[in-house]
Amino acid sequence: MSAIDVGRERANRAARRSVWSDALEAAMWLAAITGIAFMIASGGFTVATAANWWNTLGRAIGIVAAVMMMTQVLLASRAPWIEKVIGHDRAIAKHTRLGKVAILLMFVHLILMTATTAAFDDRSFVEQTIRWQDYGWFMLFAQIASVSFLVVLVTSLTAVRLRWRYERWHAVHLLVYVGVAFAVPHQFLEGTTFVGGGVAWWFWAALWTVSIGSFVVYRLIRPLLLTGRHHLTVESVDTLGDGSTSVTIAGRDVARLRAQAGQFFLWRFLSPGLRWQSHPYSLSAAPGDRLRITVKASGDGSGRVAEVPVGTRVMIEGPLGIFTHSRRAKSALLLVSAGIGITPVRSMLEAVEPGDDCTVVVRVRSRAEAPLLDEVEELANARGATLHVLEGQRGATWGTAELPASIGQFVADPAATDVYVCGPPGWSTVVAADAAAAGVPAEAIHREEFGW
CB 345 within 8 A of CB 446: no
> What is 14-27 written as a DSSP string?
HHHHHHHHHHHHHH
Residues 319-354: pLDDT tens digits? 998 899 988 888 899 999 998 999 999 999 999 988
Q: What is the residue-averaged pLDDT of the chain?
A: 86
Hey, what CATH class is 328-449 in?
alpha beta
The C-alpha angle with vertex 251 and arms to 249 and 252, in degrees rounded to 5, equals 160
Query: H/E element holding 438?
Result: helix 425-438
Q: What is the pLDDT of residue 236?
A: 95
CB 344 within 8 A of CB 216: no
CA pair distance 38, 40, nearest whole angstrom: 5
pLDDT beyond 50 at 1: no
Q: Please state the rounded mean pLDDT for residues 423-439.
A: 92
Q: Which of 84-93, 315-324, 439-448 has the lowest mean pLDDT?
A: 84-93
The pTM of this model reads 0.80
Sorted by where each begins, the domain ranges of the chain are: 3-225, 231-320, 328-449
Pairing label, strands 386-391, 357-364: parallel
- For residue 318, the SS3 value is strand
Q: Which of 20-34, 149-163, 223-237 has the lowest mean pLDDT?
A: 149-163
> What is 373-428 written as a DSSP string?
HHHHHHHHHHHT-EEEEEESSB-SSSSBSSS---HHHH-S-GGGEEEEEEE-HHHH
Residue type at 191 in one-letter notation: G
CB 229 within 8 A of CB 298: no
Q: Please state the rounded mean pLDDT for residues 139-154.
A: 87
State the chain's maximal CA–CA distance in angstroms. 80
Q: What is the pLDDT of residue 9?
A: 53
CA pair distance 241, 384, nearest whole angstrom: 26
Q: What is the pLDDT of residue 131?
A: 76
Distance of CA 48 to the CA centre of its chain: 45
Pairing label, strands 314-320, 332-338: unpaired
Instruction: Please choose, from the candidates 198, 191, 214, 14, the residue with its C-alpha nearest in 3D space to the C-alpha of residue 113.
Output: 191
Q: What is the pLDDT of residue 50?
A: 86
Domain 231-320 has CATH 2.40.30.10: yes
Query: What sections of 134-217 are H helices per DSSP?
Result: 137-156, 158-161, 166-173, 175-189, 199-215
pLDDT interval class at 12 (50, 70, 90): low
Please list, in sequence order, all residues whose beta carbon lies within 8 angstroms of the beta carbon of residue 329, skipping any fewer than 6 positions away.
10, 11, 13, 14, 418, 441, 443, 444
The C-alpha angle with vertex 295 and arms to 371 and 338, in degrees rounded to 5, equals 45
Q: Please state the rounded mean pLDDT for residues 257-271.
A: 93
> CB atoms < 10 A from the CB of 117, how many?
18
Percent of residues, the chain, with pLDDT higher than 70: 91
pLDDT interval class at 161 (50, 70, 90): low
